[in-house]
């Protein structure tokens, strides 16, 4: 691939776990990767995905309303940060989706535990 080529995310229907990420990696421009170069570009090691996940996390923390999933470590982390930053006092609401439906979460999230 050439530098500056637009990458596209291709979804693989019925693919194995991780196939979407592998397909995505194949469509990304490879800047410094070559058989002659010992260097690996930031794109090759997933820095783009890391930055996107950080932005998603802080967007969720700063949102007026957050709806998370019971048992999700990501949701537990967002609930905890929002609680300890006192988002609820500023009008921020937390909701949790579980087997019993959607319920408003008051106070800190329950600790994440593997059962």
User: Which pLDDT score is estimated for 12?
Assistant: 45
Mapping DSSP onto H, E and C, the string for 81-105 reads: HHHHCCCHHHCCEEEEEECCEEEEC
Residue from 100, 31, 34, 91 nearest 66 by CA: 91
What does the pLDDT profile of the chain (115 residues) look like in tens digits? 444 444 444 444 455 544 455 555 555 555 555 555 567 777 778 888 999 999 999 999 999 999 999 888 899 999 999 988 887 676 679 999 988 899 998 888 887 666 5
pTM (2 decimals)? 0.59
User: Which pLDDT score is estimated for 27?
Assistant: 56
In contact, 96 and 87? CB cutoff 8 Å: no
């Amino acid at each position: 691939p050439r530098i500056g080529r637009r990458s596209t995310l291709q979804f693989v229907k019925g693919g194995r776990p991780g196939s979407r990420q592998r397909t995505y990696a194949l469509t990304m421009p490879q800047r410094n990767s070559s058989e002659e170069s010992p260097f690996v570009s930031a794109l090759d090691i997933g820095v783009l995905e890391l930055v996107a996940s950080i932005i998603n996390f802080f967007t969720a923390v700063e949102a007026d309303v957050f709806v998370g999933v019971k048992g999700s470590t990501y949701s537990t982390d967002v609930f905890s940060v929002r609680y300890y930053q006192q988002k609820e006092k500023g009008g921020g609401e937390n909701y949790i989706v579980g087997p019993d439906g959607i319920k408003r979460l008051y106070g800190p999230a329950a600790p994440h535990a593997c059962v």
